[in-house]
Amino acid sequence: MDGSGSWDAIDWNQIKEPRPPRSSSRGMEDFLLEDEEVYAQGHGVVLLNTDEAGILSVTNFRLLFVSQATKGVIELGTIPLTAIEKINDDVKLQPLPRQHDKKQPRELLQVIGKDMRVIVFDFLPKTKQKNEVFDALRRYSKPTHLWDLYAFSCDPSTVYQKSDPKMRLLKEYHRLFRKWFPHSGSEFEKDLRNEWWRVSKVNSTYSLCSTYPSALIVPRSISDEDLLQASSFRSGRRLPVISWCDPGSGAVLARSSQPLVGLMMNFRNNTDEKLVSALCTQIIDATGSLRKLYIVDARPRANALANGAKGGGSESASNYPRSEVLFLGIQNIHTMRDSLFRLRDYVDTHGSVSSNGTSSAVSLVGDRRNRGSTWGGGNLNSMTQFSSMLGEWLNHIQSIMVGASWIAAQIVQESASVLVHCSDGWDRTTQLVALACLLLDPYYRTFNGFQALVEKDWLAFGHPFAERMGVPTITDNNSGSQFELLRQPSLGTLSNSPNRGALGSSVSTSNTTSGQSQTSNNSSPILLQVIYSFLGALC
């Protein structure tokens, strides 16, 4: 999408009429979803993970494998195109006793998923089926146009009529204010405010902050002019605004990016201090006690201080009355990515079980990275290595869960307000705010509520999904035909280890074309960690 990160990046009126029905099904009518179309197909294909033969189809949504014997979809061999991490057609079979005639050429295609699946298909020799499937995967894993994504194929008339994201955001703000949601558009657009907060339209054209929503909940005592002045003191102009509020107690959960305090941490902004202080000026009870404000910096303290060299840093409690600054010690996107890299590399190289409990193709097939070697299983050193990597990954999950739980607890138990930020305010901040909202508000634990939460705190507040989760691009390595689905880079961020390719895979820098070694710098399992944390909280 456009770098603005705004809702206006999509013209929701482009499609006014439903598209004509898809016509290409190639005999898969009983298995295709609405508007799903088959682009390429292979017959008599064997899924080596299970030794099942069937039909393998590349559609505009997924790689679909249907068993020839049971006439049913085999889930292990079926994966959405956007969930594919790597495609490799240069695969070597392990020398197993049940291996077919060694003189018979094998047409193998390996697909590695972001969910750690390693699946391998064996095509009929002396046919063009493998090349057709492989070429279709390369072509359709990244559509040329936004509207070619399968998400926009299903009944686009619904998108046109009911899916104005700005209106949905305002509807959620109405719910937070406990206001009745009128059906009249003119009434709905009226100023929304109460004795403490208001909704500002100062960012309606995204001129204040291109990665913030068009409507912002702010303290009622803060003017639009104040917002304009305060924004200059925060990284990316992502000034403190309210994400969730409790009309009963007056407590708020706010978010921002880091303040630009400088190397000596002595730069100040009076308007920013006024805005932050306004988050906690209400009295809690009849005794006249003023509300406390916790400023939660998601980063390790050392990292926050190091950001001072680039103009960033963290707040000083002495500049914000009734406040306390805390550091949660959550690592950055690069550390999170590398932690998952190590865990996935181990599973890919040594694992004997796939992501759904079925025998993994790693035990059958070796790639060029490990030259066919696999772990026979069971030695103590390997298990210790696995435990270490798994423990490291789970420690990161725990840090996020503990941080979000602590934030929610202060709002509930102390009626305190909490301001959360990290560096940019769109990764760790989004994780903590979203999880805290899940704990604070039961509505977000419903289907409609979870959708509203994702739209409010992830999409509207500019989480870079394309970089973190991977809008895939195909890169052709100089040696062989191994294709990585790599991420698009951001400017001005730390570089990744040169021997790392896409998430969960390793590539040599000598095997990548110029400029490609930096393409995965900003991929990171941010949303995956929230899903892990959410499931952990439910358990």
Binding residue per annotation — 426? yes
Q: Which is it for strands 293-297 and 323-327: parallel, antiparallel or unpaired?
A: parallel
- Do the beta carbons of residue 281 and residue 336 sit within 8 Å? no
* Catalytic residue flag (residue 422): yes
Q: Which is it for strands 38-47 and 52-59: parallel, antiparallel or unpaired?
A: antiparallel
- Do the beta carbons of residue 59 and residue 37 sit within 8 Å? yes
Binding residue per annotation — 458? no
Q: Nearest 5 degrees, angle CA 287-CA 320-CA 317?
A: 110
Distances (CA, A) of 32 to 37, 57, 143, 243, 277: 8, 10, 19, 40, 55
Binding residue per annotation — 139? no
- Nearby residues of 2 by Cβ (< 8 Å), 6 or more positions away: 9
Compute how many other C-beta atoms are within 10 angstroms of the C-beta atom of residue 501. 27
- Do the beta carbons of residue 523 and residue 472 sit within 8 Å? no
What's the CA gap between 323 and 276, in Å, rounded? 9
Please name the amino acid found at residue 350: H
Please name the amino acid found at residue 428: R
Binding residue per annotation — 270? no
Binding residue per annotation — 49? no
Binding residue per annotation — 307? yes
Binding residue per annotation — 361? no
Binding residue per annotation — 332? yes
Binding residue per annotation — 155? no
Closest CA to 227 of 209, 213, 252: 209
Tell me the three state secondary structure of residue 535: helix
Structure tokens at 459: 């999409």
Residue with tokens 């901040």: 429
Taking each continuous run of H as one helix and of E as one strand, the counts in the chain are: 13, 18
Structure tokens at 138: 């390369």
Structure tokens at 393: 């990954």
Structure tokens at 221: 């005592």
Binding residue per annotation — 308? yes
Strands, E assignment, 343-440: 365-366, 417-421
Residue with tokens 């598209």: 19
What's the CA gap between 19 and 148, in Å, rounded? 12
Residue with tokens 């706010």: 254
The residue length of the chain stands at 539
Structure tokens at 351: 């694992």
What's the CA gap between 75 and 359, in Å, rounded? 13
Residue with tokens 């990046």: 9
Catalytic residue among 154, 422, 437, 539: 422
Binding residue per annotation — 376? no
Binding residue per annotation — 521? no
Distances (CA, A) of 273 to 135, 250, 315: 57, 19, 10
Binding residue per annotation — 370? no
**Residues making up the binding site for substrate:** 307-310, 332-333, 422-428
Residues annotated as part of the active site: 422
**Residues making up the binding site:** 307-310, 332-333, 422-428
